[in-house]
Structure 1
Amino acid sequence: MKKIYGLLGRDIGYSFSKGFFTEKFTKENLDCEYNNFDLKQIESFKEVINDPSIQGLNVTIPYKEEVVSYLDNLDTVAKEIGAVNVIKFEKDKKLTGFNSDYYGFTEALKPLLNKSIKKALILGTGGASKAIAYALDKLGITHTFVSRNPDFNELSYIDLDEDIMNEYRLVINCTPLGTHPNIEDFPNIPYEYITENHVFFDLIYNPAETTFMKKGKEKGAKVSNGLQMLILQAQKSWEIWNS
């Protein structure tokens, strides 16, 4: 029986994962298939998991948090983060949630860091941002969330001034602003205070260079898109499914 893997999300025609795994299966001559499960609502997840040929799933926006209540177990990291992007179908048919986003982000970020980076701004507060916060904690980098509707311990975009931008040298875009086809969009931060001491990390990978990255680069900042993070988290997913 052909093994089926796939991606759970909404409006995921653009999916990186499908291309990555389809190429992998072809290259390694594996009798596997990778499908997109584009769900209008999370309740349809129950229908997806009824297929006995499914061996593992990735999870993307907007279900990384919502899917948790449908799982039997969470590994320690996913439990701490509160978001899942990998589901393993155990031999006893139980579903275990994992998070490989934090691993992918950590390994992709490390080469960009320098000793002066002690604080980070996380733009956006969705499921992906939780994994980023967890990774920064593990790296010993203090972080603050920036939101359009901030809680008491978050910053609003209008709070960002020269002092804050000087203090927070790492800026991570976890919002969808700038994703293809809306490539002119970008997070509304004060780019005039960015210097060559800053690092801009964008979780978006399409386009390869977002407007956010371009604006950082113009000021001399080091920039990276989310492609390397995606590749690393996908490789980790495969390890988890086959462990």
Structure 2
Amino acid sequence: MTHSLERLQKVIAQSGVTSRRKAEKLIVDGKVKVNDKTVTELGSKVSLHDNIDVNGVRLEKEEPVYYILYKPRGVISSVQDDKDRKVVTDYLGEIPERIYPIGRLDYDTSGILLLTNDGEFANLLMHPRYGIDKVYVAKIKGIPDKRELNTLRKGVRSEGDLLKIIRYKILETDRQKNSMILEMTLHEGKNKHIRRMMDVLGYPVSKLKRERYGLLTLKGMQPGDYRRLTPHEVKKMRLSARDEIVD
């Protein structure tokens, strides 16, 4: 939020409470109050000084923030863990805003993870229909042929899910060690997507890293490093989505 007027549904989404689409439904259903008055008209605008209640709960007023973390292996993509394991927010120091990860990386997967308190931005990047590239590099056991690799673009079934990639590139083949390093691009990532996919083909993943998220890379970063995204990067990430929401 800024000090200028913003659409009510956008402010609700940016608070992290819900997506913009669900925020619109809450408004229409009479579940939203501004300064103790129920607002049901979409497009209503509010300022930073207005008090907003959603389902009887007051929104906390936070400026939207955006971070990139080089997540190490052996870390949970969450803000807390009931088994007392290390979580991604442990690496971000004393940040006053309540941020949360955009999507997730598996416990044993390293690489780019984005964190924010902007629910609308998170929804924009996570939804597969927006077409944001997520690029992974995987070291696998065994050497599949091109026919098998092409199967990944068509998709394979695992536990009722259709798992597929957009494209792949062979980075290295080591016949002596019977291994291959593959670059794979996804738009949608289900739980353990790449690992499950390669298990179906019989080529288990021994190491996995997310190298790129849209235009963002890990350049100059080491595992555990984090930084704030620049306003230019945030804008470019929004524009790179196919169905950019325009105010």
The answer to whether TM tops 0.5 is no
TM-score, length of structure 2 as denominator length: 0.28
Q: Could you say which structure has the greater relative contact order, defined with CA pairs below 8 angstroms and 6 or more residues apart? A: 2
TM-score, length of structure 1 as denominator length: 0.29
Higher strand share: 2
Higher helix share: 1
